[in-house]
Amino acid sequence: MEHTGAKPAQQPKQPESLKYVARQPILNSQEQVFAYELLFRDGVDDYFSNPDAESASRNTLDTTVLLGLDVLCDGKRGFINCTRDTLLKDYMSLLPADQAAVEILGSVPADDLVIDRCQKLRKVGYLVSLDDFVLNDPRQPLVEFADFVKIDLRTTPLEQVETIVKLFSPKTKIAAKKVETREEFLAAKKVGVVYFQGFFFCKPEVMQARDIPANRLNYVRLMQAVSKDELDPHEVEGIIKSEAALVYRLLRYLNSAGLGIASEIQSVRHGLAMLGEREIRRWIRLVATLSAGQNKSRELVMSALVRARFCELLSPKVEHGKSDLFLIGLLSLMDTILELPMYTILENIPLDHESKAVLLGEKSSLSPLYQLMISRERGEWPQIHQHAADLKLQESFVAEAHWSAMQWARQVSSGA
């Protein structure tokens, strides 16, 4: 979006290591973001060398100190994987106690030195988590000093999860990671798990046949209206006026100081005329996403915005025909945001065949780009390498685009 006024100061180039940081949200039982686990890779080919937990732990700390937890984690806690060496050398003291959580890896023994360090970290305000916790875990002496124990749902049967909950809850909070479906989320929640890590919140529930609620239909209608080859301003105006939240967001956006519009905008019609067709399309897609996701996890809406901008930034360097890559990224989570099947949404939005196919999980020429988007979001480094190579993209460019998309999404979600 273009803004008038003085030219902003040039932003300093982000440090090279930031390109290889990803984060996974840790949500509470209401699907609100509680914290993030930071994932780090030391350079393009790091995953081909033998994984070194010590190096990864130190590099995560170094990068986190360089950028700041407040930026990486949007003001939430950052969970940092720690080896025994990282703990005993007191590297965690480089991070603010009220912003960091010490995640103790399964390889760390519960010896006297480690126990002493955990006590001291807790005393000054750090949270302590035991990663990959299992029944009869040799780190059980550390539970007394742990705020969380984190269980891997892929390797731990639900009945064992329930046993761990009964043994250590509520004094120690139980978290589950690799929660990939809503069914797993609900099952773990039922047995007493209170924090959840995984991508269940990005996947829609199995929908039952039902009428589409009017307000959700408005968002689909808006997407449909701005996806037509020829925009009908009267149609757009009518849909916006039917949704009070959209009227408020439009007037707030148009009257913001950043746009530099001299006269005050007091009507929807005036505002749309001032924006122009290109900005109308872009703004409506963004605000429809933000408004539709008001009762959803903020991380879900942020993910949709990041995906959209990430695909848009890659578009000059990949073949995509007539497909709108920004719209593909935005729509990729719309089924979850609106709680509607993807095929229902796409029935009402004019899209080219390749775009519809990739959003429905069918074979498409856009599949490599779509898979790259998903892998980068999850920090799946080997898959990122492969998909980037398939698309003939430099991996550093891909990572820089993702970082820029995250920064852009934060600005949009707080100011749109």
Pairwise CA distance, residues 358 & 365, whole Å:
8
Averaged pLDDT, 317-329: 91
pLDDT value at residue 210: 43
Query: Average pLDDT over the chain, rounded to whole?
Result: 81
Q: What is the pLDDT of residue 208?
A: 45
Angle, helices 277-292/214-226, rounded to nearest 10 degrees: 160
pLDDT tens readout for residues 252-301: 666 664 555 555 666 677 777 777 888 888 888 887 787 777 777 788 88
- Identify the pLDDT of residue 287: 79
pLDDT of res. 90: 84
Predicted pLDDT of residue 153: 95
Query: What is the model's pLDDT at position 46?
Result: 40
Domains and CATH numbers, the chain: 16-202 (3.20.20.450), 214-415 (1.10.3210.10)
Q: Which two tokens stand for residue 42?
A: 């030391």
More confident residue, 134 or 17: 134
3-class secondary-structure state, position 263 = coil
Please check the confidence at residue 16 and state whether its pLDDT lies above 60.
no
Question: Do residues 164 and 151 make contact, with C-beta atoms less than 8 angstroms apart?
Answer: yes
pLDDT score at 215:
65
Where is mean pLDDT largest: 12-21, 62-71, 239-248, 388-397? 388-397
Q: Position of tokens 């799946």?
A: 380
**pLDDT-based confidence at 67, cuts 50/70/90?**
low
Q: What distance, in Å, lies between the first and last C-alpha atoms of the chain?
A: 12
Residue 126 burial (CB < 10 Å; 0-12/13-18/19+)? Answer: buried
Evaluate if pTM is beyond 0.95.
Answer: no
Host H or E run for residue 102: strand 100-104
Full DSSP string of 155-197: TS-HHHHHHHHHHHTTTSEEEEE---SHHHHHHHHHTT--EEE
Q: Which residue has the tokens 């939005």?
A: 349
Is the Cβ–Cβ distance between 108 and 114 less than 8 Å?
yes
**Using CA atoms, how far apart are residues 42 and 19, in angstroms rounded to an integer?**
9
Contact indicator for 163, 134 with CB cutoff of 8 Å: no
Confidence of residue 4 (pLDDT cuts 50, 70, 90): very low
Tens digit of pLDDT for each residue in 328-339?
998 999 888 888
Please check the confidence at residue 360 and state whether its pLDDT lies above 50. yes
Output the pLDDT for position 52. 57
Task: Give the percent of the chain with pLDDT over 90.
Answer: 41
Q: What residue has token string 């009428």?
A: 211
Tell me what pLDDT residue 235 has: 85
pLDDT at residue 240 above 80?
A: no
Alpha helix segments (H runs only) across 293-351: 298-314, 325-331, 334-338, 342-347
CB count within 10 Å of CB 53 equals 16
- What average pLDDT does the segment 310-322 reach? 93
Give the residue-averaged pLDDT of 81-106. 89
Give the C-alpha separation, 186 to 122, whole Å: 31
Say which range, 71-80, 147-156, 349-358, has the weakest mean pLDDT: 71-80
pLDDT for res 123? 94
pLDDT in tens, 151-210: 999 999 999 999 999 999 889 999 999 999 889 999 999 999 999 999 888 876 544 434
Lowest mean pLDDT among 46-55, 320-329, 383-392: 46-55
Please report which confidence band the pLDDT of residue 29 belongs to, taking 50, 70 and 90 as the band edges: very high
pLDDT of amino acid 205: 54
Which of 8-12, 318-322, 385-389 is the least confident region? 8-12
Instruction: Evaluate whether 101 touches 79 at the Cβ level (below 8 Å).
Output: yes
For the chain, give the percent of residues with pLDDT over 70: 78
